[in-house]
Amino acid sequence: MRLFLGIDCGTQGSKALVLDADSGRVLGEGSAPHQLISGANGRREQQPSDWLAAFEQATHAALNAAAITGEQILAIGVSGQQHGLVLLDEQGEVLRPAKLWCDTESTEQNQRLLDYLGGEAGSLERLGVAIAPGYTVSKLLWTREQYPEIFQRIAHILLPHDYLNYWLSGRCCAEYGDASGSGYFDVRRRTWDTALLRHIDPSGRLVAALPQLIESEQCLGPIRPQIAQLLGLNPAVRIASGGGDNMLGAIGTGNIQPGAITMSLGTSGTLYAYADQPRVSPQPQVATFCSSSGGWLALICSMNLTSATGAIQQLLELELASFGALVAQAPIGAEGVLMLPFFNGERVPALPNARASLHGMSSDNLSRANLCRAVVEGSVFGLRYGLDLLRASGIESRSIRLIGGAAKSPIWRQIVADIMATPLICPQHTEAAALGAAIQAAWCLDREQGHETTLEALCERCVSFDASSETRPDRGRSEQYEQVYQRYREQVMRQ
């Protein structure tokens, strides 16, 4: 057995798994929750110390579930939620809570930076992405303006997975995939845009605080002895480059060649597909990031998915099973009830200032079942809108690999397949980012040791699919949904 540890540090919690890269089997899994700090004006933050505590707890749980000792782990790969900002001082201490991907408090700063870049078209031309609220770059300008004393103490700028790698190895490094979501990175040339950072801070402090860029198949080095002891791991364990959750989710679903689409049904909804060239779309909602497998990853993200359905579930005081039963009870189109579930604004469609709304209600169709159905359909329509954008940019989408909490629901799977008019299947291990991190760790270690192991071979061995989850669209239902989807688009245009 050759055992690797994969960690995914997400918004709601951290997940860990132990992978035997020889057999492709996941031997054990563990998890631990995170606390979210919410505030006015869209503030969404977390204490990085919570990530460290969850990392330790999830790791011990995974090792115990696998019935192994940490001495057997050869390397660790870390996946992290994208776009977050972790600021460290010269001693490596965290200066303030990390602002997250879903934080929109720096919307004003983002608009000023976008104006400086020449709008969305100028941002796409210069960076390959159109910076948006939630990207890291506007958080830096926000920090300078809101916390000038803290800004003057910045010595290191890290993304969440970079920070965890720093804690593990003592090195400040960034991998191309995660770095490309920062908003101060050129995705075509794979370099930092230092001029943009000097625009924010002419002193050069931010440029000096940038981490070293490394390739996706590189190891940072060995684990720090004190961290190895804390986690109960072999002190010779190597730390892989790691990456953003979407990039490692792509690896964990075997999405490393053109043709497949990975769809994640989590707090947010995400669609991404591999490309071997940086096909930068003229549509600003499509982010063309670097992948963590040597290519590029065209991606769209809707901010309101299970966060929206969860809000309705909580409002109606429903258990998850009861919510699903009501969704199944209502017909396609919810008898005319249509929801735009933009509770906290939206990225795709691009409506950052929008709010949720209900349309088409009457005394005859206003029911709990229709309300539940409408929020699910409205959430999935946002992903369909994004899939249309990906297809328009030349991305192939012959099949969908479905992950995330809602992917476990048969009713969700059928609604997604019918709305997208595309067959789908779920991986055996839906914690795709953690699995991708473990696979990447095996790839990095093999490359470091001079082996010619390919990522394709590792994915073929370690990524398997649940045949019972395979869901095919029904032509008649897809045609019905198309009519409802066009109503959705009409309402979106009026926002």
> Which active-site residues does the annotation give?
245
Among all chains, which residue has been given the structure tokens 């549509």? 283
CB crowding 219-246: b at 16 or more within 10 Å, else e = bbebbbeebbeebebbeebbbbbbbbbb
**CA 340 to CA 323: how far, in whole Å?**
18
* 150: Cβ contacts below 8 Å, ≥ 6 apart: 87, 95, 96, 143
Extract the tokens encoding 380.
């999935």
Strand partners, 15: 8, 31
Nearest to 168 by CA among 116, 237, 99, 122: 237
With residue 425 as reference, give the H or E element that holds it.
Answer: strand 424-427
3-state DSSP percent of the chain in helix, strand and coil, to 5: 40, 25, 35
Give the burial class of 364: count Cβ atoms within 10 A of its Cβ; 0-12 exposed, 13-18 middle, 19 or more buried: exposed
For residues 59 and 67, the answer to whether their CB atoms sit within 8 Å is no
Q: What single string gives the DSSP state of each residue in 273-340?
A: EEESS----SSTTSEEEEPSSSSEEEEEEES-SHHHHHHHHHHTT--HHHHHHHHHHSPTTGGG-EEE
How many CA atoms, within 13 angstroms, populate the side-chain half-sphere of residue 169?
Answer: 24
Distance, CA of 401 to CA of 421 (rounded, Å): 14
Query: Each residue of 321-350: b (16+ CB within 10 Å) or e?
Result: eebbebbeebebbbbbbbbbbbbbbbbbbb
For tokens 């400040």, the residue is 172
| Strand residues in 223-281 grouped as ranges (E) | 238-240, 243-244, 260-265, 269-275
Structure token digits, residue 187: 């995705």
DSSP H or E run through 191: strand 191-192
Which of 420, 427, 328 has the alpha carbon at shortest distance from 372?
Answer: 328
Q: How far apart are CA 69 and CA 80, in angstroms?
A: 25
Sign of CA dihedral 398, 401, 406, 411: positive
Q: In angstroms, what CA-CA distances link 234 with 22, 227, 231, 286, 393?
A: 19, 10, 9, 42, 46
Dihedral Cα 117, 119, 121, 125, nearest 10 deg: 10
Q: Give 302's Cβ-side CA count (13 Å radius).
A: 29
